[in-house]
């Protein structure tokens, strides 16, 4: 499997973006989880979670927050980060 080298995270409107080079980042590595990457995005963009659960989506599919970044392929390097929505 080919490992992902870069990670591009953005909000739905693409106004807040964070790019991470996983080969040279001290803050985020392939050993971190998707959930930790989302937390990194929220800190870097100064978005307050406001008690909401946030999720990352790649190619229209929600990523498992517990999955290590090393398990993702280059096709999953572009994420949309947004609050989870629940029917209620």
pLDDT tens for the chain, residues 1 to 88 = 567 789 999 998 889 999 999 999 889 999 999 999 999 999 999 988 788 899 999 999 999 999 999 999 999 999 999 998 776 6
For residues 69 and 4, what is the distance between their CA atoms, to the nearest angstrom?
A: 8
Contact between 79 and 7 (Cβ < 8 Å): yes
DSSP designation for 52: -
Domains in the chain, please, with CATH?
6-83 (3.10.20.90)
Of the candidates 71, 63, 2, the residue with the CA atom closest to the CA atom of residue 31: 71
Strand order in the sheet with 17-21: 17-21, 6-10, 78-83, 54-58, 61-62
pLDDT of amino acid 49: 77
Among 61, 58, 57, 56, which residue's Cα sits nearest to residue 41?
56
């Amino acid at each position: 499997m080919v490992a992902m080298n870069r990670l591009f995270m953005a909000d739905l409107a693409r106004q807040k973006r964070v790019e991470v080079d996983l080969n040279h980042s001290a803050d985020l590595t392939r050993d971190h989880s998707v959930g930790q990457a989302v937390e990194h995005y929220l800190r870097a963009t100064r978005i307050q979670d406001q008690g909401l659960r946030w999720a990352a989506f790649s190619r229209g599919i929600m990523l498992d927050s517990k999955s290590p970044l090393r398990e993702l392929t280059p096709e999953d390097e572009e994420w949309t980060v947004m609050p989870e929505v629940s029917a209620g």
